[in-house]
Structure 1
Amino acid sequence: MSGSGGVDWDDDDPFEEQRDQVESPMRRLLFEYGRPYWFSVTVGLIASVLARALDLLPALLLAVAIDAIFGDAAFAEQVPLVVLPEAWLPATQEAQFWLVVAAIAGSFVLGAVFHWLRNWGFNAFSQGVQHDVRTATYDKMQRLDMEFFANKQTGEMMSVLSNDVNQLERFLNEGMNSATRLIVMVVGITFLLFWLNPQLALVSLAPVPLIAIFTYVFVKKIQPKYAAVRSSVGKVNSRLENNLGGINVIKSSNTEPYESDRVEDVSRKYYDTNWEAIWLRIKFFPTLQVISGVGFVLTFLVGGYWVFTGSGPGPFTGTLETGVFVAFIMYTQQLVWPMAQFGQVINMYQRAAASSERIFGLMDEEGRIERDEEAEDLEVRAGRVEYDHVGFGYDTDDDRVIDDVSFDVEGGETVALVGPTGAGKSTVLKLLLRLYDVDEGSIRVDGQDVREVSLSSLRRSMGYVGQESFLFYGTVEENIAYGSFDADREEIVAAAKAAEAHEFIQNLPDGYDTMVGERGVKLSGGQRQRVAIARAVLKDPDILVLDEATSDVDTETEMLIQRSIDDLTENRTTFAIAHRLSTIKDADQILVLEGGEIVERGTHGELLANDGLYAHLWGVQAGEIDELPQEFIERAQRRQARTEVDVDADDDD
């Protein structure tokens, strides 16, 4: 069922397919990313074991004090002291008392040292693994094909990089620490209880099997709920990221109430999903604590009666010393909390496992672009580009977006791609940059197939200036130098001058050191585009790709940008996409695309004389609408209808 705003919560988790293929995510996490930190985790584990062992010592020493110092038992025969030579033990009660006091104090001091080492070890381990996982996941994600980003929302990916990675820290630190504490306390206390009195130990530990069964049922029920929670967090992040990115549209459209409802919908789903997991937890933990407390009550009941009467009740035989009974009470009380905390450890583990599945699901994603790390670098000599019967579809089951496209571009030429919206112009150039790989045919640069050269060298030889000139948060200088990080200020200024950007940059409050804001919001559209052109100038690429670089600016700014582009394209192989045909009429070759095919090619004059699609598009921009043939108008209507259907389908996806 869809909520308002078109959010379909019955859709699959966007990472479900990848998650289902991940095997043993926690084992993989520890072996792949924990190994570099073996020293710190080993220190943490050993220190935790020793610290917990020392935590058990005071109760034994108290039993000694009660039964030997304050009672009639022989001091040398008491449990914690049998490991010492009898000659080392003091003879007087006062000296024995101070020995026990010193041992208890020493256990606390030494325990504090081991607790400090435990905290250092586990924190160093968890922070190191968390850092490595986050950076490795991001590195993997940014190397995926553009097809992956087209199918995933930014908020979902941010959820993996942030929330899911952060979820690991709690288990790797608190969870592993608690698990070690639980194991040491349960094993240690069990050993001591049986050592002190095996019969009473059976009473104290009677609830343990029931706790194990109860915990097993809890794990089975909570695991799918945590997977649903992680998915719902990603959907909340996607909605918030989407809305914050489009805040200008929301405000100008006066749609704040509508968007508040959409956020309320996804937040409510997260609330409901998370509450289901919480409700299971809040039923589980108190019940577990009650079961654990049964052991304490039984121990006090049986042991107290045993001490009170001097003989074992029912089937129990022998005597029970007061000090041993007190030790049992203290150990059973110490056992209640670890047993109750066992559910918390399982809880943290299941959360971390659900997050690990999403993380490794992302890291195991395979793209359609095959990367050959041993491929040779591209060598651009003349800059000749050949498209040889190229075919491509974004989904292999769909119709071709590009169908049998062939053309040659000589080095230094400028080729313009024009055509209606959805004709495939941008896709043709994305294939050159290998943002996608061709399904059929080949693309060659100076005779080298772009699929057979290293991806880094291919893109290093390309300069790209798009319609939406993305600027990173930082200074103007940093944005111009992006990708050419070793450039000095003199080179950056020269590039800005070539892009007609130097004068407006100088007029900014801090010149080249002016912060441009998020996505360059403090600059106008024309200023951002000129900064992007300066970036391309500084890169000095062999091949230049211009994707409607002047489409969103006024006429005066367009004139300035066009001057920059004319200088930049001189003696450089250039591809230009344009809806404003006046900006490309001087191109050496114009390719007219429709429906993914080249339907016309030639110079501006030749295409006008041909009186085909290009001439009609030129007529539209020249204001000669009344002179257009009816067939052209009908085809435009059909194309527009198809485009709207495609957009609606994308929105539904």
Structure 2
Amino acid sequence: MTAEEENVFDVYRDQVDRPLSRLFREYGTDELHWLVLGMVANVVARVASLVPPVVLGVAVDAVFAGDGAYTLPLLPDAWLPTESAAQFRFSAALIVGSFLTTAVFTWVYGVAANNFAHRVMHAVRTDSFEKMQRLDMTFFDDKQTGEVMSVLNNDASNLEVFLDNALQNSARLGVMILGIAAVLFYYNHELALVTLTAVPLMVLFTLWFMRAVEPRYVEQRSVVGDLNTALENALSGVELVKTSNTEDHETDRVANASYDYFRQTMSILRLNYLYRPGMEFLAGLAFAVTFVVGGVWLSAGPPGPFTSTLTVGTFITFVFLTQQFVAPLAEVSNIVDQYENAKASSERVFGLMDVPVRIADDEDAVDLGEVAGRVAYDDVSFGYTETPLEDPADADEYVVDGVSFEAEPGETVALVGPTGAGKSTLLKLLLRLYDVTEGEIRVDGHDIRDVTLESLRSSVGYVSQDTYLFDGTIAENIRYGRFAGVDHDVESEELRERVIEAAKAAEAHAFIDALPEGYDTRIGERGVKLSGGQRQRIAIARTVLQDPAILVLDEATSAVDTETEMLIQRSLDRLSEERTTFAIAHRLSTIRDADTILVMEDGAVVERGTHEDLIDADGLYAKLWGVQAGEIEGLPEEFVEKARERHVDRGYGNDD
């Protein structure tokens, strides 16, 4: 991927330094007590597991063979029994006690390690989601949903596995190697050198593996994001897929993404196929060499340059400890595997967290307080650039270019123009979904960049053409975002009444009340169980409940039939009463009574005035009006007359 192709997420991900160390610094500190408890319990359990081979070797020599004194490391001789029978019972008690100690502290280690891992990952996942929520819309314009989901889900889970397994297994491995090496050197340093010869080779082999596999894990995590995106797109657009008869096409897209993931996974596994058996071979070789050299030592005396004495009990201790030595060394491959996977994932997690939040409250931001609704756009320009353009000749990069107008409290300003003229973007700037590149927008005299986002957005109601409803009940969707302190599981009677009143104002109560479970009807993901017009009216009811001083209607009736549009338009008329209203409309008849109509083209306002003024000017608006009026006038007279009668009979009034 070239530098030009990298998006902002990739740039910040590449700049993450020592991601796993950062994970511990920023998130491990608060849960350090769990980590310390787990580490201590792990050390005690591993040390206890070394006791049986040592006791067994001593017992074989002193109790059964009578070929040595009954002495144990770290225990004073005065504490040890002198009679053979007592020594046997003491040995058995030590062995049973060590197994019990190992079991108890392994349980403590498991509880502590899991608490540490899951608490840290809860904090990481929550912070990642919270950061994602605060990022401005430019980030989401550039990123695919599947890739963001991959960070929040797959990458966070990989870190959890590392903290839960690899970290503690690394500690266990370190304790086992150091503990076993200490015991072996204590009993016979010469044979210990033979046993530990494989360790340097295993270290070098591991370093090679880590350098070779790291870039492959980085690529694998990126491919997972692509696969998630392909799956999310196909599932979210399943209706379009079926109606377009493109199941095979979507299957091919998912298959291609899945095959890319397969290829990257296999490139990692091919290295693992070499590394894991290699580590097991070296560990097994250490055991085999110890057994052969020790066996020769016992049967024929010290071989080669060796000169020390080796007893049967010591040999048994070496054999058992070397066997314990083999298993943790063979697990190094799993630890490295989880480490590299976690490293790649943590880079992506912190890459997301490091993306700057460009739209946020200033330190001196003020609360708007009670909003009258006076709005002014002052020479506003916007483009997907971080800084104003230096060369005026580059103005075509602006989506909105030099727009100025004012709206007094209670006035309605309508925006019309061809698709892509910048109408929706212009109004999204009012909500600070994007920040202006040049100029300023003022609400009641305040530059919106100088006020808190919460007070700004709570004073602006937004109804778009793309209505989004959450999986839940109708009542939950209507009150979404309002009454933050209310327990939604125990809805108050007052809140219920306000929800119903909002639905009535939005012309939604009738169809809701007719549903089997009324306001408690679950509507499915994205409200799939409702029609487009029903979803739109619930969105309007949600805005009614918000009771904003400023209202933004972004083609709120564009996706419904004419009859439903009449219902929605009537609810919108009620909603816009005594509010400052901005309306984008594709049907000009719905906004002809607006106080001011702005006609936009290529991001600029090319005409402005009332409906009558613009008709008299005979410009772009007049042409658009003529096209739409012509469509109506071209209908058969009897059809138009019946439609008007139906309109009146339904109680919509006798206007046109």
**Shared fold by TM > 0.5?**
yes
> How do 1:75-86 residues align onto structure 2 when only pairs under 5 Å count?
75-76=69-70, 78-80=71-73, 83-86=75-78
Contact 1:544 1:572 in 2 (8 A): yes
One-letter identity of the residue aligned with 2:367: D
Q: CA deviation at 1:329?
A: 1.0
* Aligned-partner Cα distance in 1 for 2:436–2:556: 25
SS of aligned partner of 1:34 = helix
Q: 1:326 aligns with which of 303, 316, 326?
A: 316
State the partner residue of 1:568: 575
Q: 1:48 aligns with which of 32, 35, 42?
A: 42
* Aligned-partner Cα distance in 2 for 1:407–1:246: 39
Q: CA deviation at 1:382?
A: 2.4
State the partner residue of 2:603: 596
State the partner residue of 1:550: 557
One-letter identity of the residue aligned with 2:549: D
State the partner residue of 1:651: none
* Aligned-partner Cα distance in 1 for 2:207–2:82: 52
> How do 1:216-615 residues align onto structure 2 when only pairs under 5 Å count?
216-309=207-300, 311-396=301-386, 399-485=397-483, 486=486, 488-615=495-622
Deviations 1:580-628 (A, max 9, x none): 111111111100000110000011111111110001111121226999x
State the partner residue of 2:27: 33
One-letter identity of the residue aligned with 2:119: G
Q: CA deviation at 1:535?
A: 0.3
Q: CA deviation at 1:228?
A: 0.6
Deviations 1:360-382 (A, max 9, x none): 00010014324325411123442
Does structure 1 residue 100 correspond to structure 2 residue 91? yes
Q: CA deviation at 1:341?
A: 1.2
SS of aligned partner of 1:318 = coil
SS of aligned partner of 1:488 = helix
Deviations 1:390-414 (A, max 9, x none): 1110235771111110001001101
Deviations 1:89-134 (A, max 9, x none): 2232111111100110011111111001000000000110111100
Contact 2:136 2:434 in 1 (8 A): yes
Over the matched positions of the two proteins, sequence identity in percent amounts to 55
State the partner residue of 2:15: 21
* Aligned-partner Cα distance in 1 for 2:58–2:282: 30
* Aligned-partner Cα distance in 2 for 1:347–1:266: 23
Q: CA deviation at 1:342?
A: 1.5
SS of aligned partner of 1:622 = helix
Contact 2:7 2:142 in 1 (8 A): no
Q: CA deviation at 1:12?
A: 5.3
One-letter identity of the residue aligned with 1:428: L
Q: CA deviation at 1:264?
A: 0.9
Deviations 1:256-288 (A, max 9, x none): 111111111111111001110111111110011
* Aligned-partner Cα distance in 1 for 2:328–2:52: 18
* Aligned-partner Cα distance in 2 for 1:243–1:462: 34
SS of aligned partner of 1:277 = helix
* Aligned-partner Cα distance in 2 for 1:211–1:55: 23
* Aligned-partner Cα distance in 1 for 2:166–2:327: 15
Contact 1:380 1:445 in 2 (8 A): no
State the partner residue of 2:65: 71
Contact 1:368 1:436 in 2 (8 A): no
Contact 1:57 1:107 in 2 (8 A): yes
With over 3 angstroms needed to count, the CA separation of the structure-2 counterparts of 1:182 and 1:395, relative to structure 1, is same
* Aligned-partner Cα distance in 2 for 1:478–1:381: 27
Q: CA deviation at 1:13?
A: 8.1
State the partner residue of 1:110: 101
SS of aligned partner of 1:464 = strand
* Aligned-partner Cα distance in 2 for 1:153–1:236: 11
RMSD, matched Cα: 1.8
State the partner residue of 2:654: none
Contact 1:190 1:201 in 2 (8 A): yes
State the partner residue of 1:213: 204
Does structure 1 residue 166 correspond to structure 2 residue 164? no
Does structure 1 residue 183 correspond to structure 2 residue 174? yes
Contact 1:425 1:593 in 2 (8 A): yes
* Aligned-partner Cα distance in 1 for 2:631–2:64: 113
Does structure 1 residue 200 correspond to structure 2 residue 191? yes
* Aligned-partner Cα distance in 1 for 2:5–2:210: 25
* Aligned-partner Cα distance in 1 for 2:509–2:247: 39
Q: 1:622 aligns with which of 626, 629, 634?
A: 629
Alignment size in residue pairs: 616
One-letter identity of the residue aligned with 1:148: F
With over 3 angstroms needed to count, the CA separation of the structure-2 counterparts of 1:270 and 1:381, relative to structure 1, is closer
* Aligned-partner Cα distance in 1 for 2:334–2:515: 56
* Aligned-partner Cα distance in 2 for 1:12–1:90: 73
Contact 1:25 1:360 in 2 (8 A): yes
Deviations 1:170-225 (A, max 9, x none): 11011112101100000101111111111111100011111111100100011100
Of stretches 260-269 and 380-389 in structure 1, the one that deviates more from structure 2 is 380-389
One-letter identity of the residue aligned with 2:72: V
Contact 1:619 1:625 in 2 (8 A): no
Contact 2:361 2:451 in 1 (8 A): no
Of stretches 434-443 and 392-401 in structure 1, the one that deviates more from structure 2 is 392-401
SS of aligned partner of 2:377 = strand
Contact 2:360 2:453 in 1 (8 A): no
* Aligned-partner Cα distance in 2 for 1:220–1:174: 22
SS of aligned partner of 1:545 = strand
One-letter identity of the residue aligned with 1:136: D
* Aligned-partner Cα distance in 1 for 2:95–2:260: 53
| Structure 1, unaligned runs of 5 or more | 2-7, 628-653
SS of aligned partner of 1:79 = coil
* Aligned-partner Cα distance in 1 for 2:351–2:243: 39
> How do 1:137-156 residues align onto structure 2 when only pairs under 5 Å count?
137-156=128-147
Contact 1:380 1:446 in 2 (8 A): no
* Aligned-partner Cα distance in 2 for 1:14–1:108: 54
State the partner residue of 1:631: none
* Aligned-partner Cα distance in 1 for 2:405–2:629: 28
Q: 1:134 aligns with which of 108, 117, 125?
A: 125
